[in-house]
Amino acid sequence: MLLRFLPRAIALCATACLVSQCEKPATTGAPAIPKDALATVGAQAITEKDLIQEAEWRKANHQAVPAAPELLKEMANRLALVEKAKQSGIADDPETQRSIQSIIIARLREKQIDAEVAKVTVSDDELKAAYDSRSAEFARKPLDRFAILFQAADAKASDARKAEAKKGLEDAIALADAAPAPGGRGPAAGGFGQVAAQHSEDQVTRYRGGDLGWIEGDAKETRLPVNVLEAGRALEKGKRSGVIEAADGFYVIMKTDARAGGARPMEEVADNLRQQILRDKRRALEEQFLADAMQSSKASINADAAAKVTLPVTPAPAPAAPVLSPP
């Protein structure tokens, strides 16, 4: 029965101890025990008011409320455990102090800021203004889709090997021109079809018609040599290049599809944009709440002194919690 109430003892009584230690000046001598005390544990007293408050708390939290003598004994046992924890130094342990602080911060959020955060909304006018000012962020980039044929012949290859590779691609494009891939849907649509499987040495693309997928129009680095990519971008949709020599061999490139860039309509980005604005407004509210707390508590920070302290610094994780959420 006693251990059943230990978690709440640590959470509530230890919190009270911390607040008392932090906020009340030290006094000489033991504090006076109230005349109406029903029980005492060290310098702490349990009064009729305390007993009633505990009973009301248990009732509100759907816990059984025993008869007054039993409840008083349970409360005294709980305070005795907290007193023993203080005597053992647990209350001064940094981990304990941090846990207690987190409880206090959570209660502060619940009492003073969560309700205000929940009221934050984004109006249609705010959404439209944000879209107009940031429309460039939501613009689609132009995209090109390519298919390739490849024969390897690097700088160390013999002239005979280079000639063979080039001739192999010339024969391949003749076959592709004579029997174009049927097109349709899928990764090989509009590419080189079976010709790629038979005549290309690019293992990634040869079994899907040479298809490379979509490449952004302003991409600077791709797996293609620069001169091959530039030749592909210069093509019209559905057209192919001739045989192009590169440092690692010979290529033929076809532009199988293209999508123009441009602004996306607000309807496409409205939901995500609204959530971004909402997060920004809530973060600003919490940061202001924190700034007010620093000011009202007359907090002072000596950054110069802190800079002289050597710590085992590690990279900070990406923020995932609100400003006032206890870590």
- CB atoms closer than 10 angstroms to residue 109: 18
- Per-residue pLDDT of 218-256, as tens digits, reads 888 888 999 999 999 999 998 999 999 999 999 999 999
User: Looking at per-residue confidence, does 202 or 263 come out higher?
Assistant: 202
Residues with Cβ within 8 Å of 150's Cβ and at least 6 positions away in sequence, in order, are 200, 201, 202, 205, 249, 250, 251
pTM of the model: 0.56
Q: Where does the pLDDT of residue 322 fall: very low under 50, low under 70, confident under 90, or very high at 90 and above?
A: very low
In this prediction, residue 2 carries a pLDDT of 40
**CATH fold of the domain at 143-259:** Chitinase A; domain 3 (3.10.50)
pLDDT, position 29: 57
pLDDT digits (tens, 9 = 90+) for 49-104: 999 999 999 999 999 999 999 999 999 999 999 999 989 999 889 999 999 999 99
Domain boundary assignment for the chain: 3-25+33-92, 97-139+263-298+323-327, 143-259
From the list 81, 83, 249, the residue with the least C-alpha distance to 163 is 249
Q: Are 90 and 57 in contact (CB under 8 A)?
A: no
CB atoms under 10 Å from CB of 209, counted, come to: 27
Residue 96, CA distances (Å) to 88, 99, 109 in order: 12, 5, 20
pLDDT tens per residue, range 22-38: 434 444 555 677 888 99
**171: its two tokens:** 């024969």
Interacting residues of 266 by C-beta distance below 8 A, sequence separation 6+: 127, 128, 131, 273
How far is the C-alpha of 192 from the C-alpha of 180, rounded, in Å?
Answer: 7
pLDDT at residue 294, rounded to an integer: 93
Q: Judge whether residue 139 has pLDDT over 90.
A: no
Please, what is the average pLDDT of the chain?
Answer: 85
Residue 50 Cα to chain centre, angstroms = 44
Helix (H) or strand (E) run with residue 240 in it: none
